[in-house]
Amino acid sequence: MKCGLSMYSLLAPVRAGQLDLLGFLDYAAQTGFEGVELLDMFWTDEVGQVPEVKGRCAALGLKLPVYSISTNFFRPDAMARDAELAALKHGVGVASQLGAPLLRVFSGDLLPGYSFEQGFAWVVDCLAAGAEFASQSGITLVLENHGQIAGRSDQVRAIIEAVGSPALRSNLDTGNFLLVGEDPLQAARSLADLVALVHLKDFTRAGPDEGDSHTGTWTAICTRAPSSARVLLICRQSMRSWRNRAIKAGCHWSTRAISSPCRTPCRAARRRCGRCFSRE
C-alpha cells in the first residue's frame, strides 16, 4: 500500500497565506512522508504551477498517487452535467501531466424534488463517459463514498458495477461511512475487491460515552484492501504520531493528517471528525 500527505490537511495555514504549493511539498518531504495528494482547489495558476509541482516532486523524491477533484453529477440540467463531465476530463488531463494514476471524484448529492433513481442514472451515465475517457490516458477514477447517492458501500458498488469499467474503482473513506450509519469495517469487507484508494479517518470523543477510532480497526481494513491500494490517513493529531500508528496498522507510509478539530458533530456517529470533508 502507498499513501501521502494531502494538502487539504494543511488547509488552515494555506488559507492564512502561510503555506503555498511548493512550501507544502517541502514540508511533506521534511516531515517524512513519501507522497502527496493535491486537490484542484489549491491552484492559483494551474498552467504555470503543474510543471513546477512535478519538478519539485521529482527533486524531493515525492510520489503523487492521486489528484482529487470534486464533481457533482446530480444535475437535472443536461448542460450542467456536461459541464461537470468536462471538468472531469480536464482533471484527467491534469492527473496525467502530474503522473498521478488515480483521480478522486464525487457522485453528487440529492436535490429536493428529484428521486434517487433519477440521480443514480445521471451519475452512472456521466461516470461511464468519464471512465472511458480516463482509460485512454491510463487514469483510474476513484469514487469516494460521499453524500446520499454514493454514501453507503452498496450504493458505491451499484454505481461501479453499473458503469462496468476497470477505470472506475472505489475510494473507501472510513469516516464518511459513519455519516450514513454504516460500520467502516463492514463497508471495507463489502468493497474490498473494488478498492484502489483508502482514506483512514480518525474520530475524537464528543462525549464521555463515546470512544475513539482504533488502530486495530485500521489493521482489519488495510488487510482487506488490495496491496496495490493507496492509503490516506486523515487525523487531527500530530502527523508523525499518526504516521507511526498507520505503519503499525500495516500501511507502508501514511497520509493526510489534520491539525485542527472540526466543530460539527458527525450526524450518525455523534462524533467530531478531524475535519469535515463534505466541502472538499
For 15, other C-beta atoms within 10 Å of its C-beta total 9
Residue 199 contacts residue 234 (beta carbons within 8 Å): yes
Amino acid (one-letter) located at 183: D
pLDDT value for 142:
98
pLDDT the model gives residue 223: 58
Residue 237's φ and ψ, nearest 5 degrees, are -95, -175
- Sorted by sequence, the CB contacts under 8 Å of residue 94 that are 6+ apart come out as 40, 46, 50, 67
User: Of the candidates 98, 99, 97, 102, which has an alpha carbon nearest to the alpha carbon of residue 134?
Assistant: 102
71 exposure class (CB count in 10 Å sphere: 0-12, 13-18, 19+): buried
Q: For cell 507502508, name the residue.
A: 252
* Lowest pLDDT segment from 43-47, 162-166, 214-218, 270-274: 270-274
The pLDDT of residue 224: 58
Q: What pLDDT does 222 receive? A: 59
> Average pLDDT, stretch 72-90?
97
What single letter denotes the amino acid at residue 225?
A
d(CA 174, CA 234): 9
How far apart, in whole angstroms, are the C-alpha atoms of residue 111 and residue 108? Answer: 9
Q: Which residue has the higher pLDDT, 164 or 240?
A: 164
Query: Is pLDDT above 50 for 216?
Result: no
Query: 141 pLDDT exceeds 90?
Result: yes
Question: What's the pLDDT at 201?
Answer: 67
Among 20-34, 65-79, 167-181, the range with the most confident prediction by mean pLDDT is 65-79
Q: 230-280 pLDDT, tens per residue?
A: 555 544 433 444 444 444 444 433 333 333 333 333 333 333 333 332 223
Which residues is 2 bridged to in the sheet? 230
Q: What is the mean pLDDT of residues 196-208?
A: 65
Per-residue model confidence (pLDDT) at position 259: 32
- What topology is assigned to 5-273 in CATH? TIM Barrel (3.20.20)
pLDDT band at residue 185 using 50, 70 and 90 as cut-offs: confident
Query: Which pLDDT score is estimated for 131?
Result: 98
Q: What is the pLDDT of residue 268?
A: 31
Alpha carbon distance 107, 148 (integer Å):
9
Burial readout 192-215 (b: 16 or more C-beta within 10 A, e: otherwise): bebbbbbbbbbbbeeeeeeeebeb
Q: What is the mean pLDDT of the chain?
A: 79
Q: Give the DSSP letter of residue 20.
A: -
Q: What confidence category does residue 228 fall into, taking pLDDT thresholds of 50, 70 and 90?
A: low
CA distances (Å), 28 to each of 14, 150, 215, 239, 247, in order? 14, 31, 23, 10, 17
Quick: pLDDT tens for 34-54: 888 899 999 999 999 999 999
pLDDT confidence of residue 71: 97
Compute the distance between CA of residue 35 and CA of residue 72 in angstroms, rounded to an integer: 27
pLDDT average, residue stretch 106-131 = 95
pLDDT of residue 238: 38
